[in-house]
Amino acid sequence: MSAPTAASAPPPAEDMTHRQILEALSGLLLVLFVAMLSSTVVSTALPKIIGALEGSQTQYTWVVTATLLSATATTPIWGKLADLFSKKLLVQIAIVVFVLGSVIAGFSQSAGQLIAARAFQGIGVGGLQALVQVVIAAMIPPRERGRYNGYLGGVMALATVGGPLLGGLIVDTSWLGWRWCFFVGIPFAVVALILLQLTLHVHTERRANVKIDYLGAALIAAGVSVLLIWVSFVDGTFAWLSWPTYAMVGGAVVLLALAVLVEKRAAEPVVPLDIVRERTTALSIVASLAVGMAMFGGAVFLGQYFQIGRGYSPTEAGLLTIPLMAGVLLSSIIVGRIITRTGTIKPYIIAGLVVLFAGFALLGTIDHETSLVFVGFGMLLVGLGVGASMQNLVLAVQNTVPLRTIGAASSTIAFFRSMGGAIGVSVLGAVLARRVTDQITHDLAAAGIPTSGGAAGGSLNVAALPDAVQHIVRAAYGDATGHIFLISAAIAVAGLAAAIFLPRATLRTSLDLPARDKEPADLEG
């Protein structure tokens, strides 16, 4: 029997009531919560985790970067698979991979093992962050999707507010310990599996004789990985102008160039170049790169700022990040409903990026003595900007592509956003490490304290240092954090420039494009 065509396929979503959609979304929203929780629950706990494992600032950065990198590399593969196979089964497989990664991370005995476990966990995270958007796009027309993006934003805000608080409580509770930061998401994942089995019913249009471009995906992952490794070690282990720099940067350029050639020739590329060349997608990619770099790169170091730079406990650091997540919650819900009512999206993306820039510009002025009210206001603006722009950039792209390629299009945006996040964390982490090391070395020398051993701040176990050294280390971290937020503000400007040139479009009310519009890239030649 031949595969069902679009004409003969049953309409899976257009006749669904609001209640039926919410029931189907229940498992997906819980999946999103689990994926977000995996990152946020360790954000405030990482200083203690890396301190307990005797890790360094570079390893601190790579605990986050490893997850982002593997998620980035696998996101387009998950998205392509979603266009070919059961979306429901793929989501469930991604959850299982995520759970296995969580278990391995929880039993890690060194910072290196933790980084490897987080990389494996990122494979599942890459599936979840791509597939949730894909499944929602397969059920709900773009015009109606705005209101449901509000629910997504609410779940994101809950995970990002509750995660740091939960992580802080776990590491501050002696009979639990930091390993439970990785175990805590497992029960949620099991519940999500059950809910998805009971509530999610989405149509899959299968195509025969299709191959996944694993070579292209491997080349992209290798090229990005080499660049990130170079960023992490340049100016520390080796100089900017040195043979390792030439070898790594040159190698990354060659790998990425080969990836483009392979993608051009592949029958089923993981990053379809015809979709990427479309104006809305290309500009959304640039904006998503900027949002990812600014958001991940900036937010990852807030927990470190409050704990190491200001001396607060992990629980207190979690509470202090509430303004950031409150902003995400408010803007995603309010802007989502406005977009559904008006059918327009560009003005709200632009406004969000303007607010994002303003928030990072304010945070760029902070040091280890800045008023917490001022820091909180800056975080609120950043949250408002992220909530208004991040999900809506995906929606802008989904509005321009036919349903049969929604997986590839959605995962392409998620891919570049994750890549931006990985690059942002690596770059800003490297900048932070260099500035902290320089300032600590200078201040210790000025105070007449030897800089050998751990006194120079190589370890994040600040509590083990002498009081005089503790003060110098905390001041260095507090002052250096403002500098990386200024870099985030500059990155946000690049995203704003891309958003300004987005074409104006009205969100369609149908699940799929009209037949005459299904191949826009081919018509353009």
pLDDT digits (tens, 9 = 90+) for 203-239: 665 555 556 777 887 888 788 778 777 876 776 677 7
Q: In terms of domains, do 249 and 274 share one? A: no
Does pLDDT of 82 surpass 70?
yes
Domain stops at, among 244, 267, 290? 267
* Predicted confidence (pLDDT) per residue in 342-360, tens digit: 888 889 999 999 999 999 9
- Residue partners of 28: CB distance under 8 A and separation at least 6: 91, 132, 135, 136, 196, 200
Question: Is residue 282 assigned to a domain?
Answer: yes
Question: Is residue 400 assigned to a domain?
Answer: yes
The domain of 232 spans 213-267
* Predicted confidence (pLDDT) per residue in 387-402, tens digit: 888 878 878 887 777 7
Q: Is-contact 165 341, C-beta < 8 A?
A: no
Does pLDDT of 14 surpass 50?
no
> Taking the C-alpha atoms of 79, 66, 49 and 292 in order, what is their torsion angle to the nearest 10 degrees?
-70
Tell me the whole-structure pTM to 2 decimals. Answer: 0.74
Q: Which of 83-97, 254-268, 316-330, 452-466 has the lowest mean pLDDT?
A: 452-466
Question: Is residue 257 assigned to a domain?
Answer: yes
Question: Is residue 84 assigned to a domain?
Answer: yes
Question: Is residue 404 assigned to a domain?
Answer: yes
Q: In terms of domains, do 503 and 391 share one? A: yes
Q: In terms of domains, do 403 and 285 share one? A: yes
Mean pLDDT of 107-123: 89
Model confidence band, residue 525 (pLDDT cutoffs 50, 70, 90):
very low
pLDDT of residue 189: 86
pLDDT of residue 2: 38
Residue bearing the bigger pLDDT, 195 or 143: 195
Question: Rounded distance, CA 105 to CA 42, Å?
Answer: 11
Residue bearing the bigger pLDDT, 44 or 225: 225
- Residue partners of 461: CB distance under 8 A and separation at least 6: 51, 52, 54, 454
pLDDT of residue 247: 92
Model confidence band, residue 161 (pLDDT cutoffs 50, 70, 90):
low
pLDDT of residue 155: 77
Q: Is-contact 29 82, C-beta < 8 A?
A: no
User: Mean pLDDT score of the chain, rounded to an integer?
Assistant: 78
Q: In terms of domains, do 287 and 368 share one? A: yes
Q: In terms of domains, do 314 and 342 share one? A: yes
Question: Is residue 284 assigned to a domain?
Answer: yes
Question: Rounded distance, CA 461 to CA 397, Å?
Answer: 45
Does pLDDT of 299 surpass 70?
no
Does pLDDT of 7 surpass 70?
no
Residue bearing the bigger pLDDT, 120 or 510: 120
CATH code for the domain in which residue 411 is found: 1.20.1250.20
Model confidence band, residue 160 (pLDDT cutoffs 50, 70, 90):
low
Q: In terms of domains, do 482 and 423 share one? A: yes
Mean pLDDT of 37-52: 78
Q: In terms of domains, do 277 and 234 share one? A: no
Q: In terms of domains, do 179 and 273 share one? A: yes
The shares of helix, strand and coil residues in the chain, as percent rounded to the nearest 5, are 75, 0, 25
Number of domains in the chain: 2
pLDDT of residue 283: 87
Q: In terms of domains, do 260 and 279 share one? A: no
Question: Is residue 454 assigned to a domain?
Answer: yes
Question: Rounded distance, CA 191 to CA 187, Å?
Answer: 6
Residue written as token pair 């050639």: 261
Question: Is residue 174 assigned to a domain?
Answer: yes
Q: Which of 234-248, 281-295, 349-363, 503-517 has the lowest mean pLDDT?
A: 503-517
Q: In terms of domains, do 158 and 247 share one? A: no
Q: In terms of domains, do 118 and 239 share one? A: no
Question: Rounded distance, CA 90 to CA 238, Å?
Answer: 42
pLDDT of residue 500: 92
Q: In terms of domains, do 477 and 502 share one? A: yes
Q: Is-contact 134 415, C-beta < 8 A?
A: no
pLDDT of residue 363: 92
Domain stops at, among 267, 285, 306? 267
pLDDT of residue 463: 65
Does pLDDT of 259 surpass 50?
yes
Does pLDDT of 8 surpass 60?
no
Domain stops at, among 267, 282, 307? 267
Query: Mapping DSSP to helix (H, G, I), strand (E, B) and coil, where does residue 130 land?
Result: helix
